[in-house]
Structure 1
Amino acid sequence: MKKRPTILDVADKAGVSKSTVSLVLQNSPSVRQSTREDVNRAISDLGYVYNRSAAGLRGASSGLIGLIINDLRNPFFTEFAASAQMEFARKGYSTVIANTDEDPGNQAQVIGTMIEHGVSAFVISPAYGGGDNAFDRIEHAGIPTMQVLRQVDNRTGLFPFATHNYAAGGEMATHHLIDLGCRKIAFVGGLKDRPITNERMSGYRTVMTALGYSATTFHGRPSRAFGREMALTIASEHPEIEAAICFSDLVALGMLSGFAEAGVKVGEDFRLVGFDDIEESSLVYPRLSSIRCDTELFGQSAAQAMLTWIVDDIRPPDVKHHDVNLIERQSSVGPDHE
């Protein structure tokens, strides 16, 4: 990660004093228009970002971490954010948390504001879309940044990526259902062609193809509403489908509701496996089988990796996949399972 440009770099490039650059940044009317244009041109060329908190918090000494999450309404991401924040706090670092609500425009605005206020580092679960402009700005600012759970920038040499081994999870879930005697298994949820959807679906497709079984997919927003809708659709239009692996537990929880409405007994008439193992999975009835990603441990690990980077200058590996495991409960193995 290259050194972020300073106000002295701007002054040198524009051929003016540091105090003149400061006056331009403060929009002082005392600076001639031509000089103002020279300074602004230098700022743009260098990618310099004005740090509004420079008087009190400067660069990597600020002890402030930017934690940017694509969807804090989703319990999976909320648990990750809480775990990472607590780990940073235990090491004496404060965290600024922002929810981008899956909006790349919001993401770019939040990143810009946090850079201006002098964060030491970023941990970002990014929104899809919007190109790489926000990450380009981070590169210019020279701020250590990790992508987690989702990857939108392929420059992992600059922005290391940490996630779960979703492909292995999909394989586990598929083998589990096949071992229970299911052959017509669907994958439900996830927006089509999104990288995260393809990752979570890849293990399922690999196993089904290897064993000569047909893969059936139903794509859509990973929500309870979509899960309920698909359960009703499967019950009425696809009675041949025996089981499903869901993109997320939210989809699976919606399917539990839909099947109950349709009079289908999950765990007996239909077998179901979710993804993430959020807390609610073990509290509903029938209890939901799920691929556990141990989000709490993942959040701690991501925070520790970032602290090692900014404190000891030891950067994380370009890509790291954390292990997952299958938690068997009543929705797949039946109501007698404890």
Structure 2
Amino acid sequence: MNGLGEIMSNKQSRRVTLMEVANHAGVSRATASLVARNSTKISNDTKEKVLQSMKELGYVYDRIAANLRSQTSTTIGIIITDVANTFFSELLLGVHQELEKFGYTVFLGTTFDSVDNQVKLISTMLEHRVGGIILCPVSSTSTETIERVQNIDIPMVVAVRELPFIETNYVGLNYTQGAKKATSYLLEKGHTRIAFLGGRSESSTWHERIEGFYQAHQNAGINVDSSLIVDSSPTREGGIEAVQTIINHPNRPTAIFCFSDMIAFGVIIGLRKAGITPGEDIEIVGFDNVPETEIVYPPLTTVSSFPQQIGAEAANLLHKKMTSDTNEKERIILQPELVKRDK
């Protein structure tokens, strides 16, 4: 057996080469390479002929090898904490919409807020020679993790959660101002006992929110009851657990400011299970303005953190760092908005 039959018989045991595709299509290897890289320099007829040969031969483009030859990579690593959280779904939408414009391929990983998972994902992405990384870090990320990437000169943009004590490219929100707006809204409605529920206390975003929470109280001349501040995992389940702590409080709060909308959804479930009516017995405000806040009952007043815009800004900043020679670190901070949804 020879010719095409020999190539087909070996297709399962070895990778078909670009030269074999070129010979089969009757074009040069350079032309076949341009087609594989989706170049616009090739006529549609030639492109279709080469693509048909690729299909018949079972050719798979070796992107890693191509990156090594050109010393560049069109693969981007994105690491988030929880794919089930709608906030990150919105953020990913913003990232993908921008990266597609530049022709990047996305390699997605989820840490579930685990440091070990994050270390493994970063290692895997580095092994696959990604050209850059967008990292939404876990709560207790160490400086060593970031320094490892920076030391091998791969552009990185940290998003959502800023890392103290280390200089990085960063895109996020003014969380302090957002929490201040939400808490002031509750105080202006006459609430003087407000709980702060959810989020990891070791997280920078938790500290920024709690700062805004305290600032609003201070401006209103009202003391904060620290027994009404309860941290938890930033999930729906975390909200259910956190609200149990204050349900039986001897001086129960009349309002709750939640670390995130996911926490708020859990708080609503927890209150209902205890026979307490959300929005009537206890008022609730969330943070993030994910799509479900409009359809949950009662509709949730929340702080918009613009996850799609954060994703888009992070993607554009990473592309900028990958295509320029500057090592200067940049910070992009978006301003929050309070979205009121009174009954």
Would you say same fold, with TM above 0.5?
Answer: yes
SS at match of 1:61: coil
Deviations 1:107-142 (CA, angstroms, capped at 9, x unpaired): 222222222222111111112446333323212221
Separation of aligned partners in 1, 2:297 and 2:64: 53
| Shift in alpha-carbon separation, 1:294–1:54, aligned structure 2, 3 A | closer
2:79 corresponds to 1:68: yes
Of 255, 262, 282, the match for 1:250: 262
Letter in 2 for 1:199: E
- Could you tell which deviates more after superposition, 192-201 or 277-286? 192-201
SS at match of 2:248: helix
Q: Partner residue of 2:298?
A: 286
Separation of aligned partners in 2, 1:300 and 1:80: 8
Q: Partner residue of 1:96?
A: 107
Separation of aligned partners in 1, 2:307 and 2:148: 29
TM-fit CA distance, 1:280: 1.1
Q: How does 1:1-338 map to 2 (within 5 A)?
A: 55-58=65-68, 61-129=72-140, 131-152=142-163, 154-156=165-167, 159-215=168-224, 216-313=228-325, 317-329=329-341, 333=342, 335=343
| Shift in alpha-carbon separation, 1:170–1:129, aligned structure 2, 3 A | closer
Q: Partner residue of 1:38?
A: none
- Could you tell which deviates more after superposition, 280-289 or 215-224? 215-224
Q: Do the aligned partners of 2:143 and 2:165 also contact (CA within 8 Å) in 1?
A: no
Separation of aligned partners in 2, 1:161 and 1:169: 18
SS at match of 1:192: coil
Separation of aligned partners in 2, 1:260 and 1:227: 13
CA radius of gyration, larger in: 2
Separation of aligned partners in 1, 2:234 and 2:121: 24
Q: Partner residue of 2:8?
A: none
Letter in 1 for 2:240: R
Runs of 4+ in 1 over 6 A off after TM superposition: none
TM-fit CA distance, 1:295: 0.6
TM-fit CA distance, 1:180: 1.0
Deviations 1:156-200 (CA, angstroms, capped at 9, x unpaired): 2xx212211100001100111111111111111112233221112
- Could you tell which deviates more after superposition, 197-206 or 73-82? 73-82
Identity in percent: 28
Deviations 1:278-311 (CA, angstroms, capped at 9, x unpaired): 1111111111111111111111111112112222
SS at match of 1:123: strand
TM-fit CA distance, 1:105: 2.2
Q: Partner residue of 1:31?
A: none
Separation of aligned partners in 1, 2:71 and 2:320: 13
SS at match of 2:154: coil
Separation of aligned partners in 1, 2:285 and 2:328: 32
Separation of aligned partners in 2, 1:241 and 1:182: 8
Q: Do the aligned partners of 1:98 and 1:110 also contact (CA within 8 Å) in 2?
A: yes
| Shift in alpha-carbon separation, 1:129–1:175, aligned structure 2, 3 A | closer
Separation of aligned partners in 1, 2:140 and 2:338: 31
SS at match of 1:95: strand
- Could you tell which deviates more after superposition, 164-173 or 88-97? 88-97
| Shift in alpha-carbon separation, 1:224–1:70, aligned structure 2, 3 A | closer
Letter in 1 for 2:280: E
Q: Partner residue of 2:9?
A: none
Letter in 1 for 2:215: T
Q: Partner residue of 1:5?
A: none
Separation of aligned partners in 2, 1:60 and 1:200: 42
* Structure 1 runs not aligned, ≥5 long: 1-51
Q: Do the aligned partners of 2:171 and 2:313 also contact (CA within 8 Å) in 1?
A: no
Separation of aligned partners in 2, 1:219 and 1:99: 22
Separation of aligned partners in 2, 1:218 and 1:104: 22
| Shift in alpha-carbon separation, 1:194–1:244, aligned structure 2, 3 A | same
TM-fit CA distance, 1:316: 7.1
Please, what is the CA RMSD of the aligned residues? 2.3
TM-fit CA distance, 1:88: 0.4
TM-fit CA distance, 1:224: 2.0
| Shift in alpha-carbon separation, 1:173–1:90, aligned structure 2, 3 A | same
Letter in 1 for 2:78: L
Normalization by structure 2: what TM-score? 0.74
